[in-house]
Amino acid sequence: MLDVRRLRVLLAVAEHGGIAAAARALTFTPPAVSQHIAALERQVGMLLVDRSGRTARLTAAGDRLAGHARRVLADLEAAEADLASLDGDLRGTLVVGAIATLGRTLLPATLTALRTTAPEVDLRLEECEPEDGIPALMRGELDVVLAGEYGLTPQRPQAHIDRIDLFVEPLVIAVARDHPLQGPEVELAHLRDERWIAPAAGSSCETMLRRSCALAGFEPHVVAHSGDFAVAAALAGAGHGITLLPAIATSPSLGDAAGVRLIGVHQPGMHRTLYAAIRQGARRHPLVGCVLDALTTSADTLPRTR
């Protein structure tokens, strides 16, 4: 019997155009992808990938099997959904991967709602960034991924992944309380001479910051990097620089704890879209549908600056 995990790898090679690209999409190493393909080739007794060129391509047999893989994986999702809805009761386990800010703000309300509407649904939670969560979703290791897409850094749509946008939030500037910058809002161009505590180096949030500043006509003077918004706010409160925070990463107590003031910023693209990602066809699964409904309801009640 063909291994489902190996079929997912073959499909990634087909969708992404080669072993190296499939490895990036799945966060595997190229040798690991090659090993999965080689094992699949031994199972079927045929060459599935032509490795003679600079970029590995599917053979006719590989392309044919990839077509079957698409249908098989879709049928498996449909079968799970059908079986889960047989007796009408919602029970079972879903594994959800989430970025930290949604883990702190959206998931607690969602879990509270599910204890009332679907008490026998067991959510297993993993904190992860989209760069890790989406590949894990594609590999079948996660059932739902909660992630964010920053303005000016659009993500390439992934084959066989459905995205449900939950809400869009602005980003705000955090400055020390005694910073001379005043007003509820500021033009980004007016911050060209500031010291910046940037998001984690190489992250999509940092990319958005640099692209936004470039559009405003300057390169930010970065004096620190931090992927933890609370740390970045604390550094800003100590006067080390200014920083950029998603609106839901702030709270009324943040100013007191970190010693900062929050200022809105005028600049196209300075926002973040929060979304849920699932495998294509998974929404028909009653557990997935139930969790998505709870997430959507909880998102509508989140206090945030719009």
pLDDT in tens, 258-304: 789 999 998 888 999 999 999 988 888 899 999 999 999 999 988 75
Q: What is the pLDDT of residue 89?
A: 76
Model pLDDT, residue 87 = 67
Kindly report, residue by residue over 200-256, the tens digit of the pLDDT.
999 999 999 999 999 999 999 999 999 999 999 999 999 999 999 999 988 766 766
The domains located in the chain, with CATH, are 4-76 (1.10.10.10), 84-167+272-301 (3.40.190.10), 168-271 (3.40.190.290)
Torsion, CA 262, CA 264, CA 270, CA 273, rounded to 10: 70
pLDDT tens-digit series, residues 28-81: 999 999 999 999 999 999 999 998 877 788 999 999 999 998 888 888 877 777
Report yes or no on whether pTM surpasses 0.85.
Answer: no
Kindly state the average pLDDT of the residues 108-115.
93
Distances (CA, A) of 194 to 93, 174, 185, 204, 243: 48, 12, 16, 21, 10
